[in-house]
Amino acid sequence: SQQGEEDPQALSIQEGENATMNCSYKTSINNLQWYRQNSGRGLVHLILIRSNEREKHSGRLRVTLDTSKKSSSLLITASRAADTASYFCATGQAAGNKLTFGGGTRVLVKP
């Protein structure tokens, strides 16, 4: 079963625009992590937000977490063609540090 579900499944934007994707989950979590995956490549860790945090920034990335709604969002500001990739959220449990992934959002940034 998938703990995290991303929305939308696919997103197409122009370079310079912002991209927002959302992740919903079902059970309580210790943390939530976002990853990027370029086509045919491995996963790159973007950012981790703990369950007691509400917002976190890293460069052009902004992540929010609302534990009452069991949801998170990832915002990429001023997108670039190089941001074209699939983005995954993964919820982390304290026991075993295991992650449960959602199905991902495919982002296409058109130049």
Partner 1 sequence: DAGITQSPRHKVTETGTPVTLRCHQTENHRYMYWYRQDPGHGLRLIHYSYGVKDTDKGEVSDGYSVSRSKTEDFLLTLESATSSQTSVYFCAISEFSGGSYEQYFGPGTRLTVT
Which 53-72 positions form the footprint of partner 1 (CB under 8 A)? none
Sequence-distant (6+) residues with CB within 8 A of 47 are 33, 34, 56, 58, 61, 63, 74
Distance, in Å, from the CA atom of 97 to the CA atom of 109, rounded to the nearest integer, reads 33
CB 1, min distance to partner 1, A: 7
> Is residue 87 a contact residue for partner 1 (CB under 8 A)?
no
How large is the C-alpha radius of gyration of the chain? Answer: 13
Binding of partner 1 by 103 (CB under 8 A): yes
Nearer to partner 1, 15 or 99 (CB): 99
Residues making contact with partner 1 (CB under 8 A): 1-2, 4, 30-31, 33, 35, 41-43, 45, 48, 50, 88, 90, 92, 96-104
